[in-house]
Amino acid sequence: MLTQISQVLDQQQLEAVRNIIATGKFADGSASAGMAAKRVKHNEELALDQVHLKDLNNLVMGSLVKHPTYRSAALPLKVAAPYYAHYTAGMSYGEHVDDPVMGSGTELYRSDISITVFLSNPDEYAGGELVIQTSFGEQQVKLPAGDAILYPSSSTHRVAEVTRGERLVAVSWVQSLVQEPEKRALLHDMNQARETLLRDKPAAEETRQVNQSYINLVRMWANI
């Protein structure tokens, strides 16, 4: 399931994010890639001092993790600190699947969901589409600055070559309470119906039934 989240960051937040990023430097992004992905990863990643990086993460991830669509679709258990990836003309990220386990030491987590938060507007660069293989074929994603896309980390995906301008994104991963994408998709759809019923028919018997079923399915499927 691909889930688009609109306006994770508003214009004021985007301006603050860009101002912080301007204080850092970009380095070869292949250093953070796994063995297979390293061969096809041709981009740059932001290097910042700890103070500015904390401020940046608080802006980007702080807004994302509060978003109700994110909470419903991801059912997050662990969330990774993001990378800030930068693409200029000629850069791309070839076809790959994200590593199944990330982090280090005692801070390991399983990558169930990949997240891209777009920090550049589509008219600021040509090419650079996020291309995700799904059961319905290739899906090309190029969203307005401030929007995010969530998709299964098990999906084969790539970033098409940028031919003009600069593409800037934040990339993160989630270990979900519910590992299977199909179950997460079902729960997300059910939760949307549940929230509508709770808002419009809070005392109805069907509201009680849907609410109880959703809660108990999460209980049944959650891996903790």
Q: Are 211 and 198 in contact (CB under 8 A)?
A: yes
Q: Tell me the whole-structure pTM to 2 decimals.
A: 0.94
Per-residue pLDDT at 193: 97
Alpha-carbon distance 50 to 127, whole Å?
Answer: 32
Provide the residue ranges of all domains of the chain, joining segments of one domain with +. Answer: 3-176, 181-221
Burial of 6-27, coded b for 16+ CB within 10 Å and e otherwise, reads: eebbeeebbebbeebbeebebe
Alpha-carbon distance 184 to 103, whole Å?
Answer: 23
Report the first-to-last Cα separation within the chain, whole angstroms: 22
State phi, psi for 82 to the nearest 5 degrees.
Answer: -80, 160
Alpha-carbon distance 92 to 158, whole Å?
Answer: 8
Per-residue pLDDT at 159: 98
Per-residue pLDDT at 1: 85
Question: Top-level CATH class of 3-176?
Answer: mainly beta
Give 60's DSSP letter. H
Per-residue pLDDT at 109: 95
Per-residue pLDDT at 38: 80
Per-residue pLDDT at 105: 85
Residuewise pLDDT in 10s, the chain (224 residues):
899 999 999 999 999 999 999 999 999 988 776 677 788 999 999 999 999 999 999 999 999 999 999 999 999 999 999 999 999 999 999 999 999 999 888 889 999 999 999 999 999 999 999 999 998 899 999 999 999 999 999 999 999 999 999 999 999 999 999 999 999 999 999 999 999 999 999 999 999 999 999 999 999 999 98
Alpha-carbon distance 54 to 121, whole Å?
Answer: 24
Per-residue pLDDT at 39: 87
CA dihedral 197, 202, 205, 206 (to 10 degrees): 0
Per-residue pLDDT at 66: 95
